[in-house]
A and B are shown apart, each in its own frame.
Chain A
């Protein structure tokens, strides 16, 4: 049997060699940008959207002549939402493809793992959707001691703080219930909201959990109903939110408050009319700017009517920020000069409003509030918390 195995191994190596020759020929003609996110598996949806948006941005940039006379190239790798696969993707992008920067990972846990490696190896990483506070709280282990990790999504604490103040001060709710999934994103938002909301004097009368991928929320909703809250906060992903809305409506639970996970237009297909009256906190919109609507239209056009959600928009912004920084870094851009330029980004006009980075790489932005009428989100305005008061900034 050793013969069979030997033949098998040799064949594998031959194929490997053949492909390896082909893959690394075009060095120098393009700027390579890596993407890490779940492209298969249960959460593939979010990864595919983000990679699609990045690809769309790159196509647009290339059509307009590229950057510094060179084209951009996106290499998307699958993390399957797990740490070990994300690390493998990182290894491939960083060493086999020698990418300039990495967009992603999409989920928090892989983002934590990759952020640590990016810091160590000095590669810029911009996550479009990892919201956990620790993602930008990494040890700066690279020789220069500089920060290489950025994100174009607000951290949990920023978003949940605005949400709590808005629900308490503007909407006047005192008794809230929460139904959140046990994952980094939902739990982070729910915990953040609970902390701020109770410190303001409000009550969380029911706090129910579910797992991502759960289908049946009637048990939790029946319990929430018996606690009789004024509103229910559901900071989950689209699929879960849609089911909660529908099953909640059938049981007579509501109204609902949500988070930027709700900014996915898919929700209106999945939940139909049940979305009416939902208020959610999401990315702010730049006033008098058509970048967002243009992007959404282009995305719909490019991907057979699929709709871009806010994470995809973040990914789109991240790609443009990268391109812009590469341009400013000039012809001889490398990983370190690119980093300096990204840090120097000020008032970048993206699809999600004006973008600035804090010293630790976090996004500095105000939060938008949306009120859903029927199946159309109506933009209420951008809000910030200043000196213990919620303030509308535009």
Chain B
């Protein structure tokens, strides 16, 4: 295997991983854009999404042979899981964050951590801590393109992620509600004066972010397996991706996610250090990006107003 094909292989793997990070990063970035706080429970919503998706899929598909029906089941499971997580996200927002909207900025952060504890340990209690495998809804025979191997599930991950992001971009940029969302993130009090129902916008933001996390969780489940603490580190990484891209910026989250995925795959071999250090590479790049361009790659360079 030549060095070039080897690196092509790394990049293909990186993009798959990155697509998942992007989806999850979108949730972080949207919440941050509007409420300016880091929703640490987002990673656990992802885990719930994966569990719900898995349960629904297993109930529907049963032991059916992979084929059109199982692919259909997969998407049904995805829709149900998205809906479930959207409600879960809104519920969490209502109970744990809304009372704290005017408190100091650290209070919702801690509240989020509490929620994260409850969700991950609750799942461990209900489902047990063993990892579960998400069955492929289709034959997963690897495809070889000139020495580079890619599997159908990787292609599915990329396609679904891109589709979700396009939908989201359309929603945010073209619809009335999307406009309200952008306005709220720009200036909350003013948009309230303009007659925007800020509470509704925030609820919707949580719903959309959580639904995307559910998709991310289900796609991640192929490679990651489904287990109660699956969201913790994945969530942290996705958050890093959001920051790299420029937090509060939706396109930024997408680019940041893919970039982080590629970095993780390529970083360690490129620097000739052990692969166990890939997280160090990822976080070191994060710090460097913050130093060079604190607002992230696509971040708006806002000066603080006096």
A and B, direct touch (CB closer than 8 Å):
yes
Q: Are A270 and B275 in contact (CB under 8 A)?
A: no
Chain A CB within 10 A, most for which of B130, B133, B229, B264: B130
**Contact A219 to B1, CB < 8 A, known contacts A209-B274, A239-B131:** no
Size category of the B interface is: 35 or more
Closest to B125 in A: A40
Contacting chain B: which of A193-201, A222-230, A334-342? A222-230
With known contacts A40-B124, A211-B279, A252-B149, A222–B1 Cβ distance under 8 A: yes
B276 and A222 contact, CB distance less than 8 A: no
Chain A residue with Cβ nearest B13: A218
B224 interfacial contact with A, CB 8 Å? yes
Stretch at the interface among A41-49, A84-92, A289-297: A41-49
Q: Which residues of B contact A270 (CB under 8 A)?
A: 131-133, 225
Nearest A-chain residue to B232, judged by Cβ: A42
A48 and B121 alpha carbons, distance in the complex (Å):
13
Q: Is A170 positioned at the interface, with any CB of B under 8 Å from its CB? A: no
Is B223's CB under 8 angstroms from A182's CB? no
CA distance in complex: A266, B225 (Å): 12
List, in ascending order, chain A residues with CB within 8 A of B67's CB: none
**Majority SS of interface residues in chain B?**
helix
Q: Which residues of chain A are near B227, meaning CB under 8 Å?
A: 45, 239
Across the interface, which residues of A come within 8 angstroms of B68, CB to CB? none
Instruction: Check B13–A219 contact: CB distance below 8 A.
Output: yes
Pick from B1, B17, B229, B275: contact of A208, CB under 8 Å? B275
> Is the CB–CB distance between A239 and B225 below 8 Å?
yes
Q: Does B6 contact A (CB under 8 A)?
A: yes
Contacts A216-B13, A223-B6; A306 near B130 (Cβ below 8 A) = yes
A269: CB under 8 A from chain B? yes
With A250-B142, A306-B130 known as contacts, the answer to whether A219 contacts B225 (CB < 8 A) is no
Q: Are B131 and A182 in contact (CB under 8 A)?
A: no
**Is A123 located at the chain interface by the 8 A CB criterion?**
no
The answer to whether A215 and B223 have CB atoms under 8 Å apart is yes
B225 contacts A216, C-beta separation under 8 Å: no
Give min CB distance, A350 to chain B, whole Å.
Answer: 24
User: Which listed residue (A48, A210, A272) contacts B133, Cβ 8 A?
Assistant: A272
The CA of A306 and the CA of B127, in the complex, are separated in Å by: 11
Q: Give the nearest-CB partner of A44 in chain B.
A: B129
Q: A219 contacts which chain B residues (CB < 8 A)?
A: 10, 13, 264-266, 268-269, 275, 278
CB of B271 within 8 Å of the partner chain: no
Q: Determine which of B17, B133, B232 lies in contact with A269 in the assembled complex, contact meaning CB atoms within 8 Å.
A: B133
Q: How far is the CA of A251 from the CA of B265 in the complex (A)?
A: 15
Q: Does A330 contact B (CB under 8 A)?
A: no
Report A244 CB to chain B, min CB distance, Å: 12
The residues of B that contact A223 with a CB separation of less than 8 Å are: 6, 269, 275
Distance in angstroms between the alpha carbons of A142 and B275 in the assembled complex:
43
Q: Are A44 and B124 in contact (CB under 8 A)?
A: yes
**A residues with CB within 8 A of B:** 40-42, 44-45, 48, 181-182, 208-211, 213-216, 218-220, 222-223, 225-226, 238-239, 242-243, 247, 250-252, 266, 269-272, 304, 306
Given contacts A216-B13, A251-B142, A271-B133, 11 further A-B contacts (CB under 8 A): A40-B121, A208-B275, A209-B275, A211-B276, A215-B224, A216-B223, A219-B268, A219-B269, A219-B278, A239-B227, A242-B133
19 examples of A-B residue contacts, CB within 8 angstroms:
A40-B121, A42-B229, A45-B129, A181-B276, A210-B276, A214-B278, A215-B220, A216-B264, A218-B265, A222-B6, A223-B269, A242-B133, A242-B225, A250-B140, A266-B131, A269-B132, A269-B133, A270-B225, A304-B128
